[in-house]
A and B are shown apart, each in its own frame.
Chain A
Amino acid sequence: MATFSPIMRQLGCLKSAAKPQSLLSAQIARRSLTTVYTPKPEPVPLPTNLPESFLSQLTPRLHPANGPKKIKIYPPPPSTRAACKDPVAAVTESQLKVLDPNGERKALFDYRRSPRSVKVGDILRVTFKNGDPFSGVCLSIRLRGIDTAFLLRNELTRVGVEMWVKVFSPTVKSVEIVQRTEKRKRRARLYYMRQPRHDMRSVENIVSNYLRQKSVLAGQRRQGGQNRRQKR
């Protein structure tokens, strides 16, 4: 049977049989399998004290003159943070020095520290450099350094009016306490006084009374002064 096999082969197979044997063997040769890993060889460093005469033999890349450039390192800019640790506090202090040199206003409204200061519920009268004075009940005091302000509420012509006034504003000429609260208020912010049930309504009567008394006292003082002058 084996002897007949080449004869029984199909004719088409003859072509492949006729192929040059060399090509087939090359294919076999190419089929390889790598099993051993060889690392990339480390570059051999140049000897440190290379004589001058050998330098010309080196490639230009390895020539010591063409080595890596030295990068110039600049010192960091001076830190503003280090110059001024707390700029907000510094500004507040400098502004207070200008606007409130005696510290009277600060003491008048610093209700946490000074016991004689304005408290919420007091009736205050503020006079301005430009415009009419405004009086009202102090509903709240906002302690914010130079932005310290207080809220006054009053009723003018049967309409409630509220005004936030900045304590250290240069337009505020004076702040007077017209009347203190009888009892310490248990709230820091008396916003409940906006409700009709708790509203104090107009404080104009109290303020006008106070002003009358004040003018009388001032008149007495002035008279006394005149008398003294006359005596002299």
Chain B
Amino acid sequence: MIQLKTMLNCIDNSGAAVVECVNVLKKKRPATVGDRIVVVVQKQRNFGPESSTNSGIANKVRRGDIRHAVVVRAKKEMQRSDGSLVKFDDNACVLVNKSGDPIGTRMNGVVATELRGKQWSKILSLAPMHV
């Protein structure tokens, strides 16, 4: 149930830590896992003092940037085809560019397997774990 003003954790190394949803794309209802949304970066991740000097690797995005993102975890439970339900304790997303490739190169955190059904296998392969 991700909609306008929902705050999500960003779990890639693009440099964003907390983002706010401003739009749900291709849908007239709240977004769930695998849906594409538009977000504003609210909080940057600081990669320590040494990374601030050479900001080539870290922080590809800045606070206030408007980016596209894909939801990878949702608090609202989602039903699988065999009747089982899966829910997470937080809402999380991964930033992507306009063509749908992830901005970050690494991810930390579990993601939902539903991403495969929605053609986000690239994100799924980056994730360390999926449920």
Contact = CB atoms under 8 A, between A and B. Distances in A.
Asked if A and B are interacting partners, one says: yes
Interface of A: 131-132, 134, 147, 149, 156-166, 169-171, 194
Given A134-B131, A161-B110, 14 more contacts: A131-B113, A132-B130, A149-B83, A156-B110, A156-B131, A157-B110, A159-B73, A159-B88, A160-B90, A162-B77, A162-B86, A163-B84, A163-B131, A171-B82
A147 B109 CA distance: 31
29 contacts: A131-B113, A132-B130, A147-B83, A149-B83, A149-B84, A156-B110, A156-B129, A157-B108, A157-B109, A157-B110, A157-B129, A159-B88, A159-B89, A159-B90, A160-B89, A161-B87, A161-B88, A161-B110, A161-B131, A162-B77, A162-B86, A162-B89, A163-B84, A163-B86, A163-B131, A164-B77, A164-B85, A165-B84, A169-B82
Interface in B19-50: none
Interface residues of B, number: 20
B64 interface: no
A159 B131 CA distance: 11
Interface string B96-131: 000000000000111001000000000000001111
Contacts of A132: 130-131
Contacts of B77: 162, 164
Contact of A161 (B82, B86, B108): B86
Nearest to A158: B109
Contacts of B82: 166, 169-171
Nearest to A126: B84
User: Which 4 residue pairs spanning A and B have beta carbons closest together?
Assistant: A160-B89, A164-B85, A156-B110, A171-B82
Interface of B: 73, 77, 82-90, 92, 108-110, 113, 128-131
Contacts of B86: 161-164
A163 B109 contact: no
Contacts of B85: 162-164
Nearest to A155: B89
Contacts of B88: 159-162
A165 B128 CA distance: 23
Give the residue among B88, B113, B130, B131 with the most A Cβ atoms within 10 A.
Answer: B131
